[in-house]
Structure 1
Amino acid sequence: MDLVTIVDEQNNKYTYKRYKGYAFNQEVVGNVRDRLEEVANFKVRQDDVLIGIFPKSGTHWLYNTVLMLRSGSLKYHGSGPGLEFDDLKMMEHMPSPRTFCSHLRFRFLPEQMKLGKGKIVTLTRNPKDLVVSMYHMMQKMGDLGYQGTFDGFLKRFLSEECFCGNGSWFSWIKDTEEWKTPNFLCLSYHDLKENTFANVVKLAKFLEVDHDEEFLRSVSESIQFDKLKESHETTTPPSDRWKHVSEDGRLPIYRKGKVGDWKNMFTVAQSEHFDKIYRENVEKLDLKIYTKFE
């Protein structure tokens, strides 16, 4: 494993862990090789649910929706434990049913889960929106791996040096498409915002939980962005895990949660360049993009 630091011509600084040609967030615990081996061998239970998702695609939104449906409670559950960031021994001893998260691309997930044990849920989001969201989150934090301009970060995001998903968003999506199994459900960020109740019903059916319509509608109301943001800011306790990169260890997770906010950040030139790279990668990788973009 190499710790790579790139300083470009505009003095933007980008740091990540590199292993076998893949880029990893420097916050991945310890040696990447060892952590990937531990994750691959992680013992999956039949009732486990993994939120396997590209960063800033609605991780905490989906996690809290799943927890509400599985617990039968409208309580805000904060941040889920992450396979690459948290204590795996702690996760091994969590009582069933367990729900946890990961931003790792699917080839690095637990082998038993890839073979169909447990369930995997993901959200796909317009990559223009998520790169804007990711950039603003890192601006609020300490040295999470990037210090510089949006333009500089956008260039790395579009490359295979993107540490958000062990490579570009495009290759992350390709990995997801290749690993689809019957225990996998993909929802759209855009559609979840537009048709929240219908998607909550769909998710509940996939999770095999039985709730009446009144409760499902209550979940749909409880997971609206403003309510989750308020709960996060008022009830999430400080965390030692992230105190070195955020105030009191409370991650700045929620910003706007809007669809199409990229239009307030991208220049015309950046948007045109992004669209060109997007088209090239969709064709080159034969991607079957299943999300609605705006």
Structure 2
Amino acid sequence: MDFAVRRLYEAVNMELVTIVDEKENKYTFKRYQGYPFNKEVVGNVRDQLAKIAHRDVKEDDVLVCVFPKSGTHWLYNTVTMLRSGSLKYSGSPSMMEYDAFNDIEEMHSPRTFGSHLRFRFLPEQMKLGKGKVITITRNPKDILVSVYRMLQNMGDIGYQGTFEGFLKIYVSEECFMGNGSWFSWIKDMEEWKHPNLLCLSFEDFKQNIYENVVKLAKFLEVDHDEGFLQSVAQSVQFDNLRESHNVMTPPSDRWKHLSEDGRLPVYRKGCLLSILFFFSGQVGDWKNIFTVAQSEQFDILFKENVEKMGLKISLK
């Protein structure tokens, strides 16, 4: 990509970078050791990553580590219901890179928390098999559309521009959403060799919710009867989660500079189309925004990257 790069300031081993392309699309992120990070990562990236790497992991810790807009909120609430034995809505997880370090340290066991980081940046003890990690993969075209729409409807979280411009960034190693491209994020996940990882499919979860709830319960080693598992499957239907989010999510000072009352827009409010806009679990929503040429271009890039990286994943 031909970008004019302007560095706004430099910190120790970390810089805030603004990229403006030939069509005035503007993209801002933190760069550390060659990797891009969302500018909302707490403080200095080096220090935050060091804290995460050396975090004391408990045997019963569960990390929900998901590429953004792939089902984080959905998966997290399913996990917390199964672990607590309650159908209570838990909101959004504390995220290792975006929240204060003590937010997770002070949680009571069993702890469930989240991250969008590439697997290479996760706690060293988890890399050695301590605790459990759960992820979910989604069609990268649907992710791209969901991320772009979120960026359009929040404050300056890092991108201002067209869908075409963001598509170019999304498939590049400058994509802050995954500390590199979606392909690189998936490559890191596939190289995780420990049995403490469970990987689910977004599309399969949507089509077979109960079966995936059962799979999660087995992985989490929790014992519930069929009635409760059916209730969990019903509770995490998207309409139910959306209603819980709109009613029960409190204001937050952490995100007030980006969204109304500091409530992150996991789901859009308003008319039916708006409700579906941010995160409805819709499969194939990419068809409403990709042009034929863009779709064909993405398919070529997908095939090239899958072959080059030896990935075991397909658009289907």
TM-score exceeds 0.5: yes
Which of 194, 197, 210 aligns to 2:210? It is 197
2:27 is the counterpart of 1:3: no
SS in 2 for 1:284: helix
* Residue identity opposite 1:284 in structure 2: K
> Which residue number in structure 1 is paired with residue 301 of structure 2?
277
SS in 2 for 1:252: coil
CA contact (8 A) 2:77 2:90 kept: yes
2:13 is the counterpart of 1:12: no
Can you list the C-alpha shifts for 1:193-247, whole angstroms capped at 9, x where unaligned?
0000000000000000000000000000000111111111111001111000000
Which of 62, 67, 84 aligns to 2:80? It is 67
CA contact (8 A) 2:94 2:103 kept: no
Flag the structure with more relative contact order, 1 or 2, with Cα contacts below 8 A and sequence separation at least 6: 1
* Residue identity opposite 2:249 in structure 1: T
TM-score, L = length of structure 2: 0.91
Can you list the C-alpha shifts for 1:57-81, whole angstroms capped at 9, x where unaligned?
0000000000000011111110100
Q: How does 1:102-251 map to 2 (within 5 A)?
A: 102-251=115-264
TM-aligned CA deviation for residue 87 of structure 1: 1.2
* Residue identity opposite 1:277 in structure 2: L
* Residue identity opposite 2:193 in structure 1: K
TM-aligned CA deviation for residue 89 of structure 1: 1.5
Can you list the C-alpha shifts for 1:111-133, whole angstroms capped at 9, x where unaligned?
00111000000000000001100
- CA distance in 1 between partners of 2:176 and 2:86 (Å): 35
SS in 1 for 2:96: coil
2:60 is the counterpart of 1:36: no
TM-aligned CA deviation for residue 180 of structure 1: 3.1
SS in 1 for 2:36: strand
* Residue identity opposite 1:267 in structure 2: T
CA RMSD across the alignment: 0.8
- CA distance in 2 between partners of 1:140 and 1:73 (Å): 33
Q: How does 1:47-86 map to 2 (within 5 A)?
A: 47-86=60-99
- CA distance in 2 between partners of 1:134 and 1:11 (Å): 19
2:295 is the counterpart of 1:267: no
Higher mean displacement: 174-183 or 57-66 = 174-183
- CA distance in 2 between partners of 1:100 and 1:85 (Å): 12
TM-score, L = length of structure 1: 0.98
Unaligned runs of 5+ in 1: none
- CA distance in 2 between partners of 1:223 and 1:164 (Å): 25
* Residue identity opposite 2:38 in structure 1: N
* Residue identity opposite 1:27 in structure 2: E
- Runs (4 or more) in structure 1 with deviation over 3 Å come to none
Can you list the C-alpha shifts for 1:127-155, whole angstroms capped at 9, x where unaligned?
00011000111111000000111111111
- CA distance in 2 between partners of 1:115 and 1:171 (Å): 21
2:37 is the counterpart of 1:24: yes
TM-aligned CA deviation for residue 286 of structure 1: 0.4
* Residue identity opposite 1:243 in structure 2: K
Unaligned runs of 5+ in 2: 1-13, 268-277
SS in 2 for 1:57: coil
